[in-house]
Amino acid sequence: MTLPAEFAPQSFVLLRLGERRFAIAATQVAELVAPSRIFRFPNRTPKLEGVVLRRGRIIPVCDVAESLLGRSLASRRFYLIAVRQYANQKEWVALPVTGDCELIIAEMTPASENDAPHVAGWISHNGEVIEALNLGALTPGEQAVQLHRAPANSAEATP
């Protein structure tokens, strides 16, 4: 007997925000890094704190705690660098987290219509039911894809 694809075990990264834990599909995680200097500049997009420079890449920092916990994080230990899909383009986004992350294998129950848009599904781990996050709904950017079919991620400066 074979299980439907959505119930097949998958790898997830568990991240901690305050007292709560959330999961992101491991395929959407690039790395976990120590916090570095944030460069801020004027913008009108909520949730974005600025950008960090990581091995030559400029990565936006998105505080998702406000949406998930209802408050910003008082402290942060790491940035979880996640891969965000924008239509046919992928970009990295740094999510501040407050504790160590853990790689687990679990079966995900897909979200129902009653769940919030940021919930991709639910997993059970060590007796705890954990939200698996839908980064597309949790981090901003859909308007950019729709309105500005953007150029390539980076471009050489033109004289």
Partner 1 sequence: MRAASQPAKPAASRTEQIILFRVSGQLFGISSASVQEVRSVDSLAGVSSDINQPTIRKVRQVLHRGDKSLYVVNTAIHFGLPVSSAGLVFVLRKTRTALLVDAMERMATMTRLQALPLAYCHEERRWYRGLTALDQAVLPVVDAQGFLTEEEFSLLDASFAAQNASEDSATDSTELPQ
Q: Which residues pair with 108 in a beta bridge?
A: 123
Nearer to partner 1, 116 or 144 (CB): 144
Q: Report the 10 Å Cβ neighbour count for 18.
A: 17
Q: Report, in Å, the least distance between residue 20 CB and partner 1.
A: 23
Total number of residues that touch partner 1 (CB under 8 A) = 39
Nearer to partner 1, 18 or 50 (CB): 50
Residue 43 engages partner 1 in binding (rule: CB under 8 A): yes
Residue 58 engages partner 1 in binding (rule: CB under 8 A): yes
SS3 assignment for 56-117: CEEEEEECCHHHHHCCCCCCCCEEEEEEEEECCEEEEEEEEECCCCEEEEECEEECCCCCCC
Q: In terms of Cα–Cα distance, which of 134, 105, 107 is closest to 119?
A: 134
Residue 55 engages partner 1 in binding (rule: CB under 8 A): no
Residues 83-142, interacting with partner 1 (CB under 8 A): 84, 86, 89, 91, 93, 139-142
Q: Report, in Å, the least distance between residue 141 CB and partner 1.
A: 5
Nearer to partner 1, 3 or 149 (CB): 149
Nearer to partner 1, 49 or 115 (CB): 49
d(CA 102, CA 20): 13
Token pair in block for residue 147: 């309105």
Q: Report, in Å, the least distance between residue 128 CB and partner 1.
A: 30
Query: The sheet that has 29-33: what strands, in order across it?
Result: 29-33, 78-86, 89-97, 57-62, 48-54
Q: Report the 10 Å Cβ neighbour count for 111.
A: 17
Contact residues for partner 1, defined by CB under 8 A: 39, 41-45, 48, 51, 53, 56-60, 62, 84, 86, 89, 91, 93, 139-145, 147-148, 150-159
